[in-house]
Structure 1
Amino acid sequence: MTTPLLLILVAAMAFLATHVAYEWLARRLLIVSGAEYLVLGVLLGPQVTGLFTVAAIDASLPVVVLGIGWMGITSGMPLRLTQLVRIPAVAYRLSLVESVVTFLLVGAGAASAFAYGFQLDRASALVPAVALGAIAVASTPAGLDVAFGGRRRAVPVLQQIEVAHGMDGLLSVLAYGALVAYLHDAAPLLVRPLTMTEWIVVTLGIGTLGGMLFHLFLGDEDSPDRLVIALGGAVILTSGAAWYLQLSPALAALALGVVLANSLRRPGAVTEVLRAGERPLYYMLLLIAGVSWRPEGNIVWWLVIGHYVILRTLAKLWGTGLVTWLNRAHDRVGLDWGRALIGQGRLTIALALDYSRRDLPHGDVVFTCAAVSVLFTEFFA
């Protein structure tokens, strides 16, 4: 089977999964992560049936970059300033501490596991550990989408969970983007190598420029057909430019989303188009990730995976309860709202797939941790 035909097959399967399987599984069985398509990708890959060849995996890179950028822009669209200022400060304080605690706890545990299991020095273990810490922060709102859909009740605990999801996505993308900028190789055409801060500014500048161009040519256009084409072009331009410069497509697309959310007078139409395209692209990422996945049964791998899953679960459950109690907010939101943050999904897979596609240390281990976490937290979302 030729590579273009395989990519068309993946797109068709993702479309059918979105419009047929998702609603039934989500409503009847409460399965919301789409992890079954990751397993399907493994079955279609070179390790099992061999239907997807190495050439097909390499040819899927544009789809991967588009999917990563799409997950990034959906993380930036909720950051509309006029809505954010209405939220109580305590909600941001609880969410920020929860995200930072998760990043530090998982990052420190993963660094110890990498150093001990792979006999690495601390400096060499930090790169994959920081990547896992950033990925661990991300959580999925899929459980809330299934339970409430677009009709969220105006109660403090649901507001707290939504703010926490937004904060998790923001800090996850920022931390991962900063890591990619830190590891960036010197460009040969530059007079001097750019610093990490300068590469971050370049990444954000790419997204800002993409948002300005979109606003210039479309403005407050609300036609779904035109928005799909325009948004697809904007995401491809932004994420593709970031990938070409060896930067983070998710961070550039997040900046694009923030610009659109705060510059458009009616961003609702853009948000609806993004939501409609998010799930098919996520399933395509899952299929491609499963095809290119190279897991091993090494005991050292399970040591790292165990650290990741256990420490992340503890941070989301006990960390949220502790910070809520210390801020005396338990009467408002309770102590167990962190259970809604256990699930991982779209952004997790996007960042892990981004890391594994780069020539960075222990990419297969990092992606395996993320994939196992998605599988493990599927029924808890």
Structure 2
Amino acid sequence: MPDALILVLVVAASYLAARVAFEWLARRFVIVSGAEYLLLGILLGPQLSGILSRDTVESFAPIATLSLGWIGALIGARLVLPRLVRTPAVLYRVALVESLLTVAFVGALLAAALWLGFEVTRGEAIIAATALGAVAVASATAGVAVVARQLGRRSPVVRQLEVSTAANAVVAVVTSGILLTIVHRPPPMAVRPLTPTEWAVITIAIGVVGGALFHLFLGEEHKVDRLFVSLGGAIILVSGAATYLRLSPLLAAVCFGAVLVNTTRNRAEIVAALERVERPLYFALLVLAGAAWRPSVRDWSLVLLLFLLTRVAAKIGAARLAARWNGMLPTLGSDWGRGLLGQGGLALAVALTYLYQENVPLPNLVFTAAVASVLLTDVMSARLVRSLLHVDFVTPARDAEG
């Protein structure tokens, strides 16, 4: 049986199983599904079983690019200006301070560790550490969503976590996108190499132009099926163009999604079309990311452990400082940052965009750190959020037993 067919069958069977198990696990045990697909990809990949060869994994790069673009478009689609304006400004201040402190702390500490522990230049250490900082700041939204559904209301902590996870996503995407413009290698025949600022403008322009063209031709379309097909084509165009230019498909797609939902009157249908295949593309990305993983050729164990510990300390410490500086510590509590420890697909997406770049320092180390962090934190993200609220969720089955 061809390797490609094996991968398709495995992903299809896994998704069908998840359709049955995902909601039940979330309700019964407050567990978020996802990490098992990453582990499945690692087991199927060339590093372990070898069922999927490296050539087969590379042949599925367009699917990975589509998944990256779809994740970015969903992040941008949640940046609806009227909704953002109604959110209290203090929530944004807390979220942004926490996000920036996390990137700065993780990036600075890892840059020093990489420079001292690896045979790399100072510039290479800063580049790899910045990528690790972008990975570290990303937080999973699924755990917060599961707890919010079970709680049935928006407590101040849950509301802050929702705003913070959104801010984390934007900061992670922007940080990684700017990093790729800085390390971008100019074409060999270029008359004048473009500056990082010009590459950043090009990245944003790809998304803005894509969103404007979509709105021009299909902005008033209300049929979800037609919107879904059109969105798929537009996201492929936007993310493919950014990938071809060695830029960030995530940042371009975020701009695309933000322009789209803020220039149309049928944003509900557009968001519904985007969410329609969010989960299968997310699971496919996890499987492909796991299959693409390969260990670093360097001794990465100590740096990996340092990254995991630094991220935990940075998230909790930065969240506490941000709440204290904005007078929100009595409302949120000193440990509300634990709700941001879970990581999901966005962390892998950021690491994957870095892995796909040419001539970047320590790409396998950055990707391995993201894989390890997701495997360790994704399953427990909802329970970490629940522990902050001091609520014992009682399932229907337990009600019946009582």
TM-score relative to the length of structure 1 = 0.94
Q: In structure 2, do the counterparts of structure 1 residues 19 and 316 end up closer, same or farther at CA, with 3 Å as the change threshold?
A: same
What is the aligned partner in structure 1 of residue 266 from structure 2? 266
Structure-1 separation of matches of 2:316 and 2:78: 24
Asked if the contact 1:206–1:241 (Cα under 8 Å) also holds between the matched residues in 2, the reply is yes
What is the aligned partner in structure 2 of residue 112 from structure 1? 112
Q: Secondary structure at the match of 1:139?
A: coil
Structure 1 residue identity aligned to 2:355: S
Structure-1 separation of matches of 2:109 and 2:181: 23
Structure-2 separation of matches of 1:307 and 1:123: 20
Structure-2 separation of matches of 1:79 and 1:333: 24
What is the aligned partner in structure 1 of residue 230 from structure 2? 230
- Summarize deviations over 1:278-307 as a string: whole Å, max 9, x none: 211111111111112112696x31221122
Q: In structure 2, do the counterparts of structure 1 residues 118 and 92 end up closer, same or farther at CA, with 3 Å as the change threshold?
A: same
1:157 is aligned to 2:157: yes
Asked if the contact 1:321–1:335 (Cα under 8 Å) also holds between the matched residues in 2, the reply is yes
What is the aligned partner in structure 1 of residue 83 from structure 2? 83
How many residue pairs match? The answer is: 380
Structure-2 separation of matches of 1:373 and 1:97: 22
What is the aligned partner in structure 2 of residue 322 from structure 1? 321
Asked if the contact 1:6–1:56 (Cα under 8 Å) also holds between the matched residues in 2, the reply is no
Structure 2 residue identity aligned to 1:118: F
Asked if the contact 2:102–2:136 (Cα under 8 Å) also holds between the matched residues in 1, the reply is yes
What is the aligned partner in structure 2 of residue 136 from structure 1? 136
Structure 1 residue ranges without an equivalent (≥5): none
Structure 2 residue identity aligned to 1:345: G
Structure-1 separation of matches of 2:218 and 2:14: 28
Q: Percent identity?
A: 47
- After alignment, is 161-170 or 335-344 more displaced? 335-344
Structure-2 separation of matches of 1:23 and 1:97: 34
Q: In structure 2, do the counterparts of structure 1 residues 159 and 9 end up closer, same or farther at CA, with 3 Å as the change threshold?
A: same
Q: Secondary structure at the match of 1:348?
A: helix
What is the aligned partner in structure 1 of residue 198 from structure 2? 198
Q: How much has 1:276 moved relative to structure 2?
A: 2.6
- After alignment, is 164-173 or 118-127 more displaced? 118-127
RMSD (Å), alpha carbons: 1.9
1:249 is aligned to 2:249: yes
- Summarize deviations over 1:179-214 as a string: whole Å, max 9, x none: 101111113564311111110110110001111121
Structure 2 residue identity aligned to 1:320: A
Structure-2 separation of matches of 1:281 and 1:64: 9
Structure 1 residue identity aligned to 2:275: R
Structure 1 residue identity aligned to 2:73: I
Q: In structure 2, do the counterparts of structure 1 residues 273 and 337 end up closer, same or farther at CA, with 3 Å as the change threshold?
A: farther
Asked if the contact 1:74–1:254 (Cα under 8 Å) also holds between the matched residues in 2, the reply is yes
Structure-1 separation of matches of 2:176 and 2:33: 22
Asked if the contact 1:75–1:169 (Cα under 8 Å) also holds between the matched residues in 2, the reply is yes
Q: How much has 1:354 moved relative to structure 2?
A: 1.7
Q: In structure 2, do the counterparts of structure 1 residues 252 and 71 end up closer, same or farther at CA, with 3 Å as the change threshold?
A: same
Q: How much has 1:322 moved relative to structure 2?
A: 2.1
Asked if the contact 1:107–1:133 (Cα under 8 Å) also holds between the matched residues in 2, the reply is yes
Structure-1 separation of matches of 2:343 and 2:270: 24
Structure-2 separation of matches of 1:240 and 1:224: 23
Structure-2 separation of matches of 1:378 and 1:328: 30
- After alignment, is 156-165 or 122-131 more displaced? 156-165
Q: In structure 2, do the counterparts of structure 1 residues 108 and 69 end up closer, same or farther at CA, with 3 Å as the change threshold?
A: same
